[in-house]
Chain A
């Protein structure tokens, strides 16, 4: 059974800091890994999707890496801003039908 873990559950950093959010999964036989952002009371916004054949993906100040063999992914946020404050979730597909197994998320607070 696939399990996805995100530690710590919460993180508070000063504005401008570069930071890394971690995600680990138990079954390395994944097709891809997806990072989402969720603002309070809102839905999920897809940030980055990394296919299993890729090592990393970049979008603006965000960079996500994937190491299947070790069952880990990281989301790197450069020069963090207060607007980056949100909960960040990682998810991997389980089985052949794209149903995702989610971590519980990391709630990030960027202090001005």
Chain B
């Protein structure tokens, strides 16, 4: 039973380019969360999605960032016109259940470097 799969593991972009990060949840999990870990800081919640729906995007920057979780395929976190401050590790987590009682399982992360 494969865990949460994220790709790419490492991504280098120049300022102004777009970054797309993909996440396939664990089999049977329909709830996906994205977190960002900045250097020397803790993990911060970004967005919570279920299939075809954004449930909570309260942690997403208002501009340049978007997320989707289509009916078929992985969840995608998209960052447009990247800036150096976007350099971070982006983690995806999945859960089989809704609500605060569920355990989250994390992927290995995608490390974005903006030159």
A residues sitting closer than 8 Å to B (CB atoms) are 4, 30-32, 34, 36, 41-46, 49, 51, 89, 91, 93-105
Cβ A97 vs Cβ B48 within 8 A = yes
**CB closest residue in chain A, given B58:** A99
**CB closest residue in chain A, given B107:** A43
Cβ A34 vs Cβ B104 within 8 A = yes
Q: Given the complex, which residues of B lie within 8 Å of A96, measured CB to CB?
A: 99-100
Q: Is B11 among interface residues, defined by CB-CB distance under 8 A?
A: no
Q: How many A-B residue pairs have CB under 8 A?
A: 76
Cβ B108 vs Cβ A97 within 8 A = no
Cβ B106 vs Cβ A98 within 8 A = no
**CB closest residue in chain B, given A99:** B45
Q: Given the complex, which residues of A lie within 8 Å of B93, measured CB to CB?
A: 44
Render B38-80 as a binary contact track against A, CB cut-off 8 A, 1 for contact: 0001111100100000011001000000000000000000000
Which 5 interchain pairs have the tightest Cβ spacing?
Answer: A93-B100, A31-B100, A44-B106, A43-B108, A104-B42
Known contacts A98-B95, A104-B42; A43 and B101 CB within 8 A of each other:
no
Cβ A105 vs Cβ B48 within 8 A = no
**CB closest residue in chain A, given B102:** A98
Render B89-115 as a binary contact track against A, CB cut-off 8 A, 1 for contact: 001010100111111111111010000
